[in-house]
Structure 1
């Protein structure tokens, strides 16, 4: 098994002004990735990604996820292309159909979220490839749209979702699948297998899978993880997250890799008392164990 990419997740329980130190600290610590979120109505994922890319030189920055109902396909293509050209090889955008309650609040809820996501993804990929796109769909309508500045280097487009149809769509159309942050390795294995099966049925291979591990270290690590997991809709004590020393966290990462994840992001708890120190711990102590397997 190839060692997964190891990154850190910047979730919106942490303030926007803490992003710069987290991004530069992650790069200095030798982590592979930084994953930013776009949860309603907290922080802009694209703005966070752009800032993190500008503050670093090597770090790959992933964005999970941009809700398709909130962003027009043409604007999304323009923004992704700009970052793809400015920071070639370092930006991984992700799109999804959004949390439907939030989409309702924003006044953009679609009657068929999966139809919207399919139309959005197909058109977005064509635009990023430099094609002129004319399409008249149920939700996406474009008339001779072509980007003046498409990416020079191909930008991977990842999809996210929870339900079986969303996962299958990610396998069919996406370069990767972005999972939610509160899954056990067993659940990740089932989802990754389903997405990979859909990819094979579509004649595609090499699907990446990103998983997240909620983690804490120190004397009260388990208590902090147990407080964090219910904030994301799951029960504590069912095998979600990792608490303890570097070996415990590395083993949780490797369990996700064995379940099919090619990239694993560590999510610090909202009450992490030393975010900078936690990033150094991941880079200096956890990463070598993950690489060694």
Structure 2
């Protein structure tokens, strides 16, 4: 079981007995409100347009006793630094984790300062989560593609800066920097997270990061394989594998939601992933690539004109549903609240340390969380 680095102790017997210390800062957090530290959610799920909705979502999450709010970044109204500060101001117990921002969109000193500010602002509830990003988008923006070597080096640089080190003449995978320093008095233990997909990223997470966030719509076999890759890499690096928390990112869409919404959160979301990086999804899950080719060639898919989960109509989603095999949509919590709760528990039984109930707001998750907490 992962150690949920940087989060709070839990009193509920449903939590799998994890000691989650606060490091040097000490705790000013209302740990009693956290019933389920092993459960998290993404704020502003999907193509949200109103960032202020984050505040109500965080309030709802703390009321339900969830453990972590995850912040994804889109270059519109979901800029991660601003949202992190809002989440900090709106909460007293939630762990706040970016999942993810990218190291190459800000200067290392800016990112290191952001993380330190959040760490102190939240009294230790912040995790800086990084990811590789979408390569074609970076190409379009004129940003360099992110490599595994860069993410490993960046993690090392962050930790050195957080512990007060002055770095002179850095010349490496992340670039050349004559002088890097925050404050020589700093001695901060700030957890790092990594959104990981392929085997190289997963192994990196095991040897150099504290949290590893997996992708949505991973089959049971893929989940178990990914957890094993992370934990084995941690062991090879001389780390206790239980100190690395592996998060299953699990689409959780109950029948209490209307059918068009369920289509958008399941078919629409998977189809959007297939638009962006379908080859990697198919390769990782060991699915039939011919299905992906047929999906890409379909006239309706080609005519959507944007991210399918954002712009497709219900009629288009119903058509696209017919292109996707049932087993591709199966890795999700669906059905009644009780069935969804059982499926979430199943992810823990398969080896995940924690579960992000993905694609739904805390208000939408409420009946499922209530069922999860029922003995």
Q: TM-score w.r.t. structure 1 length?
A: 0.86
Does 1:208 find its partner at 2:208?
Answer: no
Give the direction of change, closer, same or farther, for the CA distance of 1:152–1:118 in structure 2 (3 Å limit): closer
**Of 73, 76, 100, which aligns to 2:108?**
73
Which position in structure 1 is the counterpart of 2:41? 8
Distance in 1, Cα, partners of 2:144 & 2:171: 19
Secondary structure of the 1:66 match is: coil
The yes-or-no answer on 1:96 pairing with 2:104 is no
How much has 1:130 moved relative to structure 2?
A: 2.1
Equivalent position SS for 1:32: strand
Q: How many residues align?
A: 283
2:326 equivalent among 219, 237, 249: 237
For residues 203 and 127 of structure 1, the distance between their equivalents in structure 2, rounded to whole angstroms, comes to 23
- Higher-Rg member (1/2): 2
**Alpha-carbon shift at residue 252 of structure 1 (Å):** 1.9
Q: What is the CA-CA distance between 1:153 and the residue it aligns to?
A: 4.9
Aligned counterpart for 2:222 among listed residues 178, 184, 187: 187
* CA positional deviation for 1:227: 4.2
Q: Is the 8 A contact 2:116 2:188 kept in 1?
A: no
* 1:217-256 paired onto structure 2 within 5 Å: 217-218=254-255, 220=258, 223=263, 225-233=266-274, 235=324, 237-238=326-327, 239-256=330-347
Quote the RMSD (CA, aligned, Å).
Answer: 2.4
| Matching of residue 27 in structure 1 with residue 62 in structure 2 | yes
Distance of 1:243 and 1:170 partners within structure 2: 29
**Which among 85, 91, 94 is matched to residue 120 of structure 2?**
85
2:370 is the counterpart of 1:284: yes
Residues 1:214 and 1:151: Cα distance change in structure 2 (over 3 Å) = farther
Deviations 1:188-234 (A, max 9, x none): 11111111111111111121111211122235566553444323336
When residues 216 and 262 of structure 1 are mapped into structure 2, their CA distance, relative to the original with a 3 A threshold, is same
Q: Distance in 2 between matches of 1:210 and 1:236?
A: 25
8 Å contact kept, 1:9–1:35: yes
Structure 1 counterpart of 2:174, from 129, 136, 139: 139
- What's the offset of the Cα at 1:142? 3.2
Of 254, 259, 262, the match for 2:353: 262
1:122-161 paired onto structure 2 within 5 Å: 122-134=156-168, 135-148=170-183, 153-161=188-196
Query: Quick check: 244-253 or 230-239, which moved more?
Result: 230-239
Q: Flag structure 1 segments of 5+ consecutive residues without an equivalent.
A: 270-274
**In structure 2, what is the equivalent of residue 44 of structure 1?**
79
* Structure 2 runs not aligned, ≥5 long: 2-14, 17-36, 275-280, 282-323
Asked whether the 8 Å contact 1:227–1:236 carries over to 2, the reply is: no
